[in-house]
Structure 1
Amino acid sequence: MAVFESLSDAVSNNLNDGDTVAFEGFTHLIPTAAAHEAIRQGFRDLTLIRMTPDIVYDQMIGMGMARKIVFSYVGNPGVGLLRRARDAIENGFPRKIEIEEHSHAGMANAYEAGAAGLPCAVFRGYRGAGLATVNPNIKSITCPFTGEVLAAVPAIRPDVTFIHAQKADRKGNVLVEGIIGIQKEAVLAAKRAVVSVEEVVDSFDDLHPNLTVLPSWTIAAIAVVPGGSHPSYAHGYYIRDNAAYLEWDEIAADRDRFQDWMRKNVLEKSADDFAARVEHLRTAA
């Protein structure tokens, strides 16, 4: 059952050196505050999983935390490449990392297989693509009923998944509004899940029953972190900080400037700082 605790405690109690970990969120609700807390606590040798690694993984890779990344797109959304990730892959700075690249469909199906407790995902995909030549975890399988040749990838089963959401109720159930992405499956596939939320409410009784709710038994810990997905947006709370993504491209291009930014904006800050970051971005909803 989910317990309410500080983000610092939630991270330290659930993440370990060497873990396979997913920080998931699609377009919005990216768990930036949780990633920053993991950086402050200095975890190492992590296998980082994310369908669309963006600047949070650029930061974690640049701080030397990653041993391997499993992904389906590496980029700064709407801007360009991830410069710290590229430096690690091409130049081994600050350390060499392994890469395992999939399509979005491959990653989504792998998460769903993990959530279902299956060993692999089978789907139509990778036809005419070259990913299978560089990723040995992409296999072919013949359907025993039709003879059709299909793609197969291992299920994703993280040691721990981190997501950000809008609300939790006092019983520890979590609600996600807007674009869902793969967060629900990433939680269900994991051994442990930590959720940061914008706020805690008494109940969800006045909300539409079809809104996505993760029951408390799927979650290990919940931390209240207003603004915790900045610079991504939280539907109904604040908009995307486009300027921050543009600025990151310049920051990450220089190793020294990157280290200086991380010291001032991550290592010397705390989760409490996030609320102030989104004040000028808050919506009227």
Structure 2
Amino acid sequence: MADIRSLHEAVAELIHDGDTVALEGFTHLIPFAAAHEIIRQGIKDLTLARMTPDVVYDQLIGAGAARKLVFSWGGNPGVGSLHRFRDAVEHGWPAPLEIDEHSHAGMANRYAAGAARLPFAVLRGYRGSDIPARTPTVSTVVCPFTGEELAAVAALNPDVTVIHAQQADRAGNVQLWGLTGVQKEAALAARRVLVTVEEIVETLEPRPGAVVLPTWVVDAVAPVPGGAHPSYAAGYSVRDNAYYREWDGISRDRAAFGRWLAECVRGE
């Protein structure tokens, strides 16, 4: 059952050094505020999983929180590369970063298998790719009914999944809507779940196409208005496009990044 906690309390309770952590959200509802709290608390040695690691993971990697990235695409959407990610991979700064790369379909199926508590998922994919030769989490399986050889991907069960949503009620039931990626699957696959929300409401109003996570699959809810910025929360905010453009310049230079981290995240 979900407790309503402050963001500081929830992160301190649920996320620990060495955990596998998924901060999911597609285009919007990206849990930036939670990522910044992870940095402030000095949590280290994380395996970060995400279908589309963008600026939020660039910041975590640059801050030295990560030792490994499990992902299917990485970039600053509409702008270019992730320079802190590249610096870690190419130069080991601020620490070496191990990578485990997949396709989008492969990552989505890994979460789905984890949510179903199955050991792996089966899909058509990876054929002609060199990814299977570079990761132990992709293999093949022969269909017992047709004899067709298919790709198999190991289930992904994060220690913690963190998502941002629009609303939760006082019992800890969560509702999100708009572009939803794999938030539901990532939450159901995880051992612990933290949700930051725009607001706490008395009653969740039914919305066509919305995703509702019942309180019994969520460990903590933290009210954090604007917690997805610079991404957006449908119905509450708009995307801060200037932030993404400005990030390109900030992240290219280690010293500039360090100044941004001290001022904008750590409040020094």
TM band (smaller chain)? over 0.9
* Distance (Å, rounded) in 2 between the aligned partners of 1:233 and 1:45: 28
Please tell me the residue identity of whatever aligns with 2:234: H
* Distance (Å, rounded) in 2 between the aligned partners of 1:59 and 1:95: 13
Which residue in 1 is equivalent to 2:207?
208
TM-aligned CA deviation for residue 207 of structure 1: 2.3
Greater CA drift, 3-12 or 127-136: 127-136
Which residue in 2 is equivalent to 1:29?
29
* Distance (Å, rounded) in 2 between the aligned partners of 1:88 and 1:118: 33
Conservation of the 8 A alpha-carbon contact between 2:177 and 2:209: no
* Distance (Å, rounded) in 1 between the aligned partners of 2:242 and 2:2: 35
* Distance (Å, rounded) in 2 between the aligned partners of 1:211 and 1:51: 21
1:27-54: per-residue Cα shift (whole Å, max 9, x none)?
0000000000000000111000000001
* Distance (Å, rounded) in 2 between the aligned partners of 1:146 and 1:166: 45
Please tell me the residue identity of whatever aligns with 2:156: I
Which residue in 1 is equivalent to 2:191?
191
**Corresponding residue SS for 2:117:** coil
* Distance (Å, rounded) in 2 between the aligned partners of 1:36 and 1:263: 11
Which residue in 2 is equivalent to 1:151?
151
**Corresponding residue SS for 1:167:** strand
TM-aligned CA deviation for residue 171 of structure 1: 1.4
Which residue in 1 is equivalent to 2:266?
267
Which residue in 2 is equivalent to 1:249?
248
Is there any run of 5+ residues in structure 2 with no aligned partner, and where?
none
* Distance (Å, rounded) in 2 between the aligned partners of 1:265 and 1:147: 56
Please tell me the residue identity of whatever aligns with 1:103: S
TM-aligned CA deviation for residue 159 of structure 1: 0.4
* Distance (Å, rounded) in 1 between the aligned partners of 2:129 and 2:96: 26
Which residue in 2 is equivalent to 1:84?
84
Which residue in 2 is equivalent to 1:121?
121
TM-aligned CA deviation for residue 209 of structure 1: 6.2
* Distance (Å, rounded) in 1 between the aligned partners of 2:191 and 2:218: 9
TM-aligned CA deviation for residue 127 of structure 1: 1.8
Is there any run of 5+ residues in structure 1 with no aligned partner, and where?
270-285
Which residue in 2 is equivalent to 1:280?
none
TM-aligned CA deviation for residue 211 of structure 1: 2.1
TM-aligned CA deviation for residue 135 of structure 1: 2.2
TM-aligned CA deviation for residue 130 of structure 1: 2.4
Superposed, which structure 2 residues align to 1:218-229 within 5 Å? 218-229=217-228
**Corresponding residue SS for 1:161:** strand
1:162-213: per-residue Cα shift (whole Å, max 9, x none)?
0000000111100011011000000000000000000011112x42365210
* Distance (Å, rounded) in 2 between the aligned partners of 1:58 and 1:84: 5
Superposed, which structure 2 residues align to 1:88-99 within 5 Å? 88-99=88-99
How does the TM-score come out when normalised to structure 2?
0.98
Q: Percent identity?
A: 61
Q: How many residues align?
A: 268
* Distance (Å, rounded) in 1 between the aligned partners of 2:170 and 2:73: 36
* Distance (Å, rounded) in 2 between the aligned partners of 1:73 and 1:211: 26
Please tell me the residue identity of whatever aligns with 1:70: V
Conservation of the 8 A alpha-carbon contact between 2:170 and 2:202: yes
TM-aligned CA deviation for residue 77 of structure 1: 0.8
Please tell me the residue identity of whatever aligns with 1:208: R
1:66-103: per-residue Cα shift (whole Å, max 9, x none)?
11000000111111110000000010111111100000
Please tell me the residue identity of whatever aligns with 1:126: Y
* Distance (Å, rounded) in 1 between the aligned partners of 2:2 and 2:101: 33
